[in-house]
Each structure stands twice: as C-alpha cells, then as structure tokens.
Amino acid sequence: MIRRPRRVALIVLGVIVFLVISGILARWLSLENAERSDILALLQAQARGDAPAMLAKLDGCDARCRTIVHADARTLRRSGAVLILARQSQTAYALSSRTAETRIAWEAGNRLPVVQCVTVRRTGNVITGLTLHLLAIGPAVHPTTADCAPRFDG
C-alpha cells in the first residue's frame, strides 16, 4: 500500500504531466486554425484584387511568385464574401518542420469555385512550438483533375 504523502505526490505529478501534454496538444492543434485563417486572409486580398496585400502575407515571394500574385489579383477578383469549400493540407498535423502544398477550393459571390495551391512551411517542432509561413500561391488549377505540383522539397 502506498503511503499517503507518496500518493499525493504521484497524483500531483500526474496532473502536471497531463497539463503539460494538454498544452502541447492544444498549441499543435491550434496551428490548423492558424493555417486556415492565414490562407483565408490571403484569398480575401486576392478576391479584392489587392496584390500588395497578398504579397504582404507571403514570406519570401520570389519574382515568379510575384508574377503569379499580380496575375491572380487581376483574373481571380471576385465580389462577395470568400468561403473556403475544401482544404487538403499536406502539412496538416506535422510534428516537425515541413514544407508542402495545401490545395484549397474557394468561392466568392455567385461565381464558380476556384481551386488553388498554396505553399505552406511549418518550422519548429511540437515540443518547442511550430510556426507557420505562407510562401507562395499558385494560379487556378482544374478543380477535378489537377493536383498541386510540389514547388519545394518537403
């Protein structure tokens, strides 16, 4: 039989371990919402036709990326609220650093849906914390047949 002081210490230790694990899981799972929110803000800027706002949301957008952003801002301009219809993230629930494409289907107003690929980089790890960076957005792809072509090694 475990003596009372030792039992209390084990219970306290168990509660502390539970709280630490819960905090790590909450931080890790909240990154999914952060990715969705960041992509939504990027799409809203695109729907407004606001290329400078789009570029401000992208980290390290090179010349090719800037060309695509300006073209997307012109051709994918939409009125109405942006609604994300589907999201397939290749970085979802990554436990460590990863760079990959997120395929996003969205619509605004009464126009046909648009499917695009956004390059997402997660850095860090689940213990010390992950950070999220949107690196690039691609042109519209065919909604039923086109997959995202990897632009970076993940």
Q: What is d(CA 105, CA 142) in angstroms, rounded to the nearest whole number?
A: 10
The pLDDT, as a whole number, for residue 148 is 76
pLDDT of residue 150: 61
Per-position pLDDT tens, the chain of length 154 = 668 888 889 999 999 999 988 887 787 777 788 899 999 999 999 999 999 999 999 998 999 999 999 999 999 999 999 999 999 888 887 778 889 999 999 999 888 899 999 999 988 877 777 788 999 999 988 776 667 766 654 4
For residue 60, the one-letter residue type is G
Query: Which tokens hold the place of 71?
Result: 């073209």
pTM score of the predicted model: 0.81
What is the reported pLDDT for 38? Answer: 94
CA distance 44 to 80: 10
Residues forming a β-bridge with 101: 119
3-state secondary structure of 43: helix
